[in-house]
C-alpha cells in the first residue's frame, strides 16, 4: 500500500483508508439533521433542541486531547476501529432513547468518538503516505467526508419515508460497524514508525509536546482557528440568509445543493496544487474566496444571486479541502505526532465552535448583512495571517525535541 521509504499505490490505499470515513460519515450525515427533530419530539424547546444538536461538537472538542493517549496506546488502526464501535453503541443508544437526558448523553458520546476517529485517521495517513502525496491524500480524505455527508441526509430521508425517524440512528450504527470492519483491512504502521516513537505505549507526554511546539500552535494554529471559524460560519449563514429573504425550504435546499456540488468536486484539485506548488497556493486563495462569498451575501437579494454566492463559497471551501489536516501533518514531529495533532485539531474544532457564536453576536448587535461582511473580513485577514506564517514555517521547519 504505502511505505515512508517505498512505493505508494493509490488503488490499494483508497478502499481501506477512505472506506471507514465514507461509511461513518454516511451514517452521521443521516442523523445530523434529525437530532433537533428527535429532541423536539421528546418535548424540548427549539433553543434546547439546538443546544442538544451542538453536544456532538462539544464532545469532539472535549475528546481532542485525550484522543492522543488512546491513539498512541492502541495504535492508529485499533483506535479507529474502537471509535467506530463506540459510535455504533451510542447511535444504538440514541435509537432506544425515550428522554432528553439519554439522547443528550448519546450525542455527546458520538462527538467523543469523532475526536478519536479523526485524530487516528489523520495520524495514520500522515505516517503511511509519502510526503509528496500528502496533500492529495488528506484533501481526498476531506473530500470523502463531504461525499459521506452529502449521501447521508439523502439516505436518512429515504429511511424516514419507509420507516420512522428513530430508524436512522439504527442505520448510522450499522454504518459505523461496517466502518469498523473495513478498518481491519488496514495494515499496521511499519515497525520503524513504532521505533521513532521510542517503543513506548504511551509516548511523549501530551503537554510536553504541545509546549515544545507552542510557537507553531500559536502562529499557524491561530490561522487554522480562523479557517475553522469561517467554515462553520458559512454553514450557519446560508440558511439564515435564505430565511431572511423569505425563501422556502425547497429553495434553501437548492442553494445548499449548488454549494455542495461545487464543494465536493474540487477536493483532489486542491490537493494536487498543494503538492505541486505549495500549501499557500491553496490556503490563501481558499480563504480569500470564502471571504468574498460571505461578503457577497450582503448584496444577494434574489435566488440566482444567492446561488452564485453559495457557489463561490462552495468553490472556496472545496479547493481548501484537507488544508487544516495537511498543515497540521506538515508541522507535526515524528516523535509525539499524535499528541501534537490532538492540540492542532483542538484549535481547528474550537474555531468551528466560535464561528457561529460570533456570527450570532454580530447579527444581534447590528444585522445579518453586517455579520456576513464582518466574517468575510475575518476570512481575508486569516488568509494574510496564514500566508505569512506558512512562508515562515517553510523557512525554518525544524521540530524542537519533545520531552519524554
Domain ranges of the chain: 9-193, 203-394
Reading phi first (left if > 0) and then psi (alpha if -120 to 50, else beta), residue 336 is in: left
pLDDT at residue 195, rounded to an integer: 46
For 373-403, what is each residue's pLDDT tens digit? 999 999 999 999 999 999 887 644 444 444 4
pLDDT of residue 249: 64
- Please give the distance of CA 152 from its chain centroid, rounded to a whole number: 16
DSSP annotation of 201 reads S
Q: The cell 478519536 sits on which residue?
A: 116
Q: What pLDDT does residue 200 have?
A: 52
Measured from the Cβ of residue 190, the count of other Cβ atoms closer than 10 Å reads: 16
Q: How many CB atoms sit inside 10 A of residue 349's CB?
A: 26
Per CATH, the number for 203-394 is 1.20.1250.20
pLDDT tens readout for residues 307-334: 999 999 999 999 999 999 999 999 999 8
pLDDT at 91 over 90: yes
- pLDDT tens string 212-233: 999 999 999 999 999 999 998 8
Collect all residues with Cβ–Cβ distance below 8 Å to 151 and sequence separation of at least 6: 26, 29
- pLDDT tens digits, 12-60: 677 777 889 999 999 998 888 788 888 888 888 877 887 888 889 899 9
For 108, residues 6+ apart whose C-beta sits below 8 A from its C-beta are: 55, 56, 58, 59, 62
Contact 57, 352 (CB under 8 A): yes
* 197 has a pLDDT exceeding 60: no
> Grid cell 481575508 — which residue?
380
Catalogue the E-assigned strands of 116-175.
none
Contact 240, 50 (CB under 8 A): no
CATH of region 9-193, choose from 3.90.1170.50, 3.40.50.300, 1.20.1290.10, 1.20.1250.20: 1.20.1250.20
Same fold, 9-193 and 203-394: yes
Please give the residue that has the higher pLDDT: either 187 or 125.
125
Of the pLDDT bands very low, low, confident and very high (cuts 50, 70, 90), residue 276 is very high
Q: What's the pTM?
A: 0.85
Amino acid at each position: 500500500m504505502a511505505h515512508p521509504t517505498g512505493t505508494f499505490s493509490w488503488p490499494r490505499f483508497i478502499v481501506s483508508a477512505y472506506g471507514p470515513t465514507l461509511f461513518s460519515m454516511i451514517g452521521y450525515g443521516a442523523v445530523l439533521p434529525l437530532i433537533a427533530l428527535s429532541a423536539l419530539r421528546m418535548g424540548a424547546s427549539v433553543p434546547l433542541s439546538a443546544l442538544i444538536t451542538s453536544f456532538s461538537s462539544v464532545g469532539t472538542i472535549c475528546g481532542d486531547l485525550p484522543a492522543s493517549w488512546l491513539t498512541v496506546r492502541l495504535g492508529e488502526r485499533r483506535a479507529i476501529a474502537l471509535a467506530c464501535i463506540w459510535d455504533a453503541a451510542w447511535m444504538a443508544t440514541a435509537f432506544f432513547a425515550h428522554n432528553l437526558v439519554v439522547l443528550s448523553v448519546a450525542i455527546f458520546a458520538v462527538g467523543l468518538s469523532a475526536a478519536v476517529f479523526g485524530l487516528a485517521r489523520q495520524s495514520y495517513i500522515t505516517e503511511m503516505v509519502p510526503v509528496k502525496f500528502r496533500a492529495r491524500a488528506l484533501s481526498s480524505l476531506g473530500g470523502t467526508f463531504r461525499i459521506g455527508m452529502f449521501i447521508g441526509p439523502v439516505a436518512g430521508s429515504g429511511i424516514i419515508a419507509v420507516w420512522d425517524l428513530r430508524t436512522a440512528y439504527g442505520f448510522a450504527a450499522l454504518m459505523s460497524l461496517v466502518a469498523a470492519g473495513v478498518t481491519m483491512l488496514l495494515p499496521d504502521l511499519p515497525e520503524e514508525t513504532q521505533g521513532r516513537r521510542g517503543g513506548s505505549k504511551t509516548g511523549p507526554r501530551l503537554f510536553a509536546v504541545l509546549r515544545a511546539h507552542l510557537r507553531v500552535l500559536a502562529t499557524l494554529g491561530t490561522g487554522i482557528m480562523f479557517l475553522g471559524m469561517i467554515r462553520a460560519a458559512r454553514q450557519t449563514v446560508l440558511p439564515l440568509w435564505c430565511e431572511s429573504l423569505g425563501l422556502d425550504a425547497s429553495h434553501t435546499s437548492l442553494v445548499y445543493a449548488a454549494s455542495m456540488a461545487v464543494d465536493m468536486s474540487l477536493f483532489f484539485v486542491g490537493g494536487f496544487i498543494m503538492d505541486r506548488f505549495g500549501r499557500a497556493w491553496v490556503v490563501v486563495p481558499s480563504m480569500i474566496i470564502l471571504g468574498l462569498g460571505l461578503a457577497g451575501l450582503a448584496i444577494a437579494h434574489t435566488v440566482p444571486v444567492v446561488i452564485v454566492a453559495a457557489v463561490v463559497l462552495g468553490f472556496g471551501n472545496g479547493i481548501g479541502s484537507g488544508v487544516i489536516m495537511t498543515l497540521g501533518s506538515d508541522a507535526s514531529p515524528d516523535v509525539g505526532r499524535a499528541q501534537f495533532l490532538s492540540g492542532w485539531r483542538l484549535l481547528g474544532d474550537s474555531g468551528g465552535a466560535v464561528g457561529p457564536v460570533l456570527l450570532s453576536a454580530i447579527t444581534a448587535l447590528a444585522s445579518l448583512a453586517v455579520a456576513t461582511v464582518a466574517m468575510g473580513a475575518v476570512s481575508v485577514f486569516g488568509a494574510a495571517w496564514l500566508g505569512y506564517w506558512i512562508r515562515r514555517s517553510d523557512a525554518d521547519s525544524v521540530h524542537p525535541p519533545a520531552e519524554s
